[in-house]
Amino acid sequence: MNYLAVLLDTKRLSDIKGSPLEGKVTDMFGGAIKALVMEVSDDQTSKIIDNLPGARLDARFFIEEVPIAFKRALFEKIKTMKSIGPEVIDAVLADLPRIKELAAKESESLPVPDIDISEALELQKKATS
């Protein structure tokens, strides 16, 4: 069994608030990061690693270095299916051609993060004034 961590910022946390997923949020790295940790079968792991260049297993058996397009599609499926079960990975893998197409564009330029950075901008503004 392998694992995939879906990192959660405040927006993503608010997206799952009140759902059964809220109780499955775990702290990583001493609580510095919130995540949903998914179990991924060996078959699913092989499909991910074989189809997404750069994807690999780390020493903790976590799948890492997957494209941003995969991460975004995965969270959207988690949100709509309200699950972190194997059916979510299967649903994302079913959309692999589109994900691979989007991932190919990432080598040219990374997509703009879909997170709220207003706090960081305020801190930056204070530091420069």
3-state secondary structure of 93: helix
96-to-15, 107, 117, 119, 120 alpha-carbon distances in Å: 24, 17, 29, 34, 34
Give the pLDDT of residue 109: 66
Give the pLDDT of residue 29: 86
Please report how many Cα atoms fall inside a 13 Å half-sphere around the Cα of residue 11, on the Cβ side. Answer: 9
Give the pLDDT of residue 117: 67
Rounded Cα distance, 106 and 123, in Å = 29
Q: How many domains are contained in the chain? A: 1
The domain of 62 spans 2-128
Q: Which conformational region is residue 91 in: left (phi greater than 0), alpha (psi within -120 to 50 degrees), or beta? A: alpha
Rounded Cα distance, 78 and 113, in Å = 18
pLDDT along the chain (129 residues), means of 10: 95 93 93 94 97 94 96 96 97 96 79 67 82
Give the pLDDT of residue 125: 85
